[in-house]
């Protein structure tokens, strides 16, 4: 992944990884990267510099995830609610996004992309198309995202399918809803980590984390350390038995039908077509 730096672990850190890998390792970790603005205030710097430090911490954390053997990461980069912040801060975040998305080579962006400036939509579409066949390490960036918006979008998609006689009401179940979410190609997170001491989910992956292990830490995101990462994985290992039992009990029993499979195949093709159209569109700067 293009954001990932070369590993800088020392001998002791590598030893710690080997020890913790003796236990179960999450296959998918989600981060609510909170505390950038408070870090900036604490460090007497501008808010945008705090956000920039947060992006740098993401690159470092992704490397730790690879070192630990975690193949998929989802991060909450920008909520739809963030558009309500001061226009100057939103504009600065969009500028930062333009710089960072130019480095996207193996990432997927999930969210309501129609809310973003057209040039950013174009960059995101190009990155998603370029990496759609990637099957090794995955980074999902939630940008212009909320869980409520995601679920609303999924329900509208299904309702349109029923209206067009591509689906019947009997086809609607948990599995179909999951397959219509932005995260349809990902397994649900095994571990959710939130920094900054806030104990809430902030409308992030609410459908997907019903069986996830949740780890809250008081450290601000730009100060998140290798030890914090190991602590979170160790906490996951302590909860692993209970989480596994819960996942087994809540496994949806519904089977898909041929009609549902055709609908989802068409939906996937339509989404790729929309991305290709966006990638070809002239960016409005």
Closest CA to 230 of 68, 122, 74: 68
Distance of CA 51 to the CA centre of its chain: 17
Q: What is the DSSP letter of 146?
A: -
pLDDT at 99: 79
Closest CA to 205 of 29, 11, 39: 29
The three-point CA angle 59-229-234 to 5° equals: 150
Bridge partner list, 143: 78
Alpha-carbon distance of 102 to 280, in angstroms, equals 16
Alpha-carbon distance of 143 to 164, in angstroms, equals 30
pLDDT at 247: 82
pLDDT at 204: 98
Instruction: Please say whether the beta carbons of 222 and 53 come within 8 A.
Output: yes
Closest CA to 180 of 273, 79, 270: 270
In CATH, which superfamily holds the domain spanning 11-146+183-240? Decaprenyl diphosphate synthase-like (3.40.1180.10)
Q: What is the pLDDT of residues 136-161, one digit of tens each?
A: 778 999 999 999 999 999 999 999 99
Q: What residue spans of the chain are helical by DSSP H?
A: 11-20, 36-42, 47-68, 87-101, 118-130, 147-163, 174-179, 226-249, 258-280
pLDDT at 203: 97
Distance of CA 22 to the CA centre of its chain: 27
Alpha-carbon distance of 262 to 165, in angstroms, equals 12
Return the domain boundaries, the chain.
Answer: 11-146+183-240
**Mean pLDDT lowest among 55-59, 116-120, 221-225, 244-248:** 244-248
Please give the biggest Cα pair distance in the chain: 61
Cα dihedral 26→28→34→35 (10° resolution): 50
Alpha-carbon distance of 216 to 199, in angstroms, equals 7
Task: Identify the band that residue 101 occupies on the pLDDT scale cut at 50, 70 and 90.
Answer: low
Task: Identify the band that residue 1 occupies on the pLDDT scale cut at 50, 70 and 90.
Answer: very low
The owner of tokens 């949806």 is 252
Instruction: Please say whether the beta carbons of 42 and 63 come within 8 A.
Output: no
Is the per-residue pLDDT at 30 higher than 80? yes
**Mean pLDDT lowest among 28-37, 60-69, 185-194, 269-278:** 269-278
Mean model confidence pLDDT for the chain? 89
181, two tokens: 């979410």
Task: Identify the band that residue 97 occupies on the pLDDT scale cut at 50, 70 and 90.
Answer: confident
pLDDT at 164: 95
């Amino acid at each position: 992944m293009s954001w990932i730096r070369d590993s800088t672990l020392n001998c002791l850190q590598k030893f710690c990884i080997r020890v913790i890998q003796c236990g179960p390792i999450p296959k998918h970790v989600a981060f609510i990267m909170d505390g950038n603005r408070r870090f900036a205030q604490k460090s007497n710097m501008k808010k945008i510099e705090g956000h920039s430090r947060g992006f740098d911490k993401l690159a470092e954390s992704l490397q730790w995830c690879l070192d630990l053997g975690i193949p998929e990461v989802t991060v909450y980069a920008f909520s739809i609610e963030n558009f309500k912040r001061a226009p100057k801060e939103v504009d600065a975040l969009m500028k930062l996004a333009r710089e960072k998305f130019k480095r996207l080579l193996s990432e997927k962006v999930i969210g309501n992309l129609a809310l973003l400036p057209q040039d950013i939509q174009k960059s995101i579409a190009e990155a998603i198309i370029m990496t759609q066949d990637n099957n090794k390490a995955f980074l999902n960036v939630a940008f212009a995202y909320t869980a409520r918006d995601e679920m609303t979008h999924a329900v509208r998609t299904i309702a349109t399918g029923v209206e067009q006689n591509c689906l019947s009401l009997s086809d609607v179940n948990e599995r179909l809803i999951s397959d219509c979410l932005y995260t349809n190609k990902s397994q649900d997170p095994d571990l959710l980590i939130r920094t900054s001491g806030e104990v809430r989910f902030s409308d992030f992956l609410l459908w997907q984390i019903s069986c996830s292990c949740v780890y809250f830490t008081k450290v601000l995101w730009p100060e998140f350390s290798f030890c914090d990462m190991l602590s979170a994985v160790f906490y996951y290992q302590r909860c692993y038995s209970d989480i596994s039992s819960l996942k087994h009990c809540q496994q949806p029993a519904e089977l898909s039908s041929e009609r549902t499979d055709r609908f989802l195949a068409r939906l996937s093709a339509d989404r790729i077509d929309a991305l290709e159209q966006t990638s070809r569109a002239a960016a409005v700067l």
